[in-house]
Amino acid sequence: MGNELKVRAWRLAGIGEFLHVSNFEHPTSNAFHQSLALCFVDHGAFNVRHCGVNYSVGKGLLLVAQSGETTSCEDFEGKSKHREFHCAPKALETIAEETGERFTGGRIFQSPFICDESLCRPFLRFHADMDSKPTAIESSSLLREFVGKMILRYGNRPATTLKVGNERWAVKRVKDCLESRYTENLTLEELARIANLSPFHLIRVFRKEVGLPPHAYQTRLRLNHAKALLAQAATIREAALNAGFFDQSHFTHHFRKVFGYPPGVHLKGLASDAQYFEDRQKRFAR
């Protein structure tokens, strides 16, 4: 059972397709890519034929295929494990335009392979985050942060240093919106219109000014509200839904990610507080 081929695949509208493949060892014929396709090799080694040229690839490498290119794989040394992301064509075009990259559906990156730890690790986080029920603003922000970072570092144009000037007022308007509407399922595009900035530029100036991208700031606001509700004797499910999370598991995922432990542990800590215990007894005595 442990050596069987395993494939987990999911799609996010407007973002693209994701795959997590384990125990893979079968040759593949020419795959034609209609947009940016990324493959990170977690384990194993094999040969890749990319646009007519053979390459040997192995653990820790990020493979990059672009629109109009073909790839095939063969000569596997044991079973491999890898993660893929196939970007939606329109999303790639939009992000390229927002970064100022010249894009006409052709090549953005010059090299088919990237062995850059500072980019490979963000890809793994991006891939994992996209498998944790991201909200609309989360998925759009995470896509722009990762793909935008790739374009700025490996695109045809040199990266520019970000300077925050009049955008501080734009950031303040977005913060005010998030603080008053944090339970709503806002989109990055809606916040960008409020700021009068492109979505990609908003993420960059917001992170530089606040220390977090907009979606993460909204999540912190939701978590703080949920913690306040828990302190008022709400159940975990009640706190999750009233703070704007999809469900209890979505809330638990983010709570653990930010605080390092699940909300149930937090509740046990609250239970040691006499006032909390008294409030909870009154509530369930009604």
Count the Cβ atoms, other than its own, within 10 Å of residue 190. 17
Burial 133-156 (b: 16+ CB within 10 A, else e): ebbbbbbbbbbbbbbbbbbbebbe
Distances (CA, A) of 30 to 7, 27, 141: 20, 10, 32
Given the structure tokens 């606001």, which residue do they identify?
Answer: 221
pTM score > 0.85 for this model? Answer: no
What's the whole-number average pLDDT of the chain?
85
Query: What share of the chain has pLDDT > 90, as a percent?
Result: 47
Closest to 61 (Cα-Cα) out of 25, 110, 128, 114: 114
Q: Residue 103: which pLDDT band, with cuts at 50, 70 and 90? A: low
Closest to 153 (Cα-Cα) out of 99, 205, 105, 203: 99
Cα–Cα distance between 94 and 85 in angstroms, integer? Answer: 17
The answer to whether 6-154 and 220-285 have equal CATH topology is: no
Given the structure tokens 């046990």, which residue do they identify?
Answer: 268
Q: Residue 69: which pLDDT band, with cuts at 50, 70 and 90? A: confident
For 152-189, give the DSSP string.
HHHSSSPP-----STHHHHHHHHHHHHHHSTTS---HH
Q: Residue 101: which pLDDT band, with cuts at 50, 70 and 90? A: low
Give pLDDT tens digits for 238-256: 999 999 999 999 999 999 9
The answer to whether residues 87 and 127 touch, using CB atoms and an 8 Å cutoff, is no
Q: Residue 10: which pLDDT band, with cuts at 50, 70 and 90? A: very high
Give pLDDT tens digits for 121-162: 899 999 999 998 899 999 999 999 999 988 888 877 655 555
Higher pLDDT, 114 or 199: 199
Radius of gyration of the chain (CA): 22
pLDDT at 77 over 90: no
Domain ranges of the chain: 6-154, 167-211, 220-285
Distances (CA, A) of 25 to 50, 92, 129, 171: 18, 30, 27, 49
Query: Average pLDDT for residues 87-113, to the nearest whole number?
Result: 77
> Which is it for the CA torsion 180, 182, 188, 190, positive or negative?
negative
Q: Residue 18 has what pLDDT? A: 96
Lowest mean pLDDT among 50-54, 188-192, 213-217: 50-54
Strands (E), the chain: 6-12, 16-24, 28-32, 37-43, 45-50, 53-58, 62-65, 70-74, 80-87, 113-114
**CATH superfamily, region 6-154:** Jelly Rolls (2.60.120.10)
**CATH superfamily, region 220-285:** Homeodomain-like (1.10.10.60)
Q: Residue 286: which pLDDT band, with cuts at 50, 70 and 90? A: low
pLDDT at 236 over 90: yes
Kind of pairing, strands 80-87 and 45-50?
A: unpaired
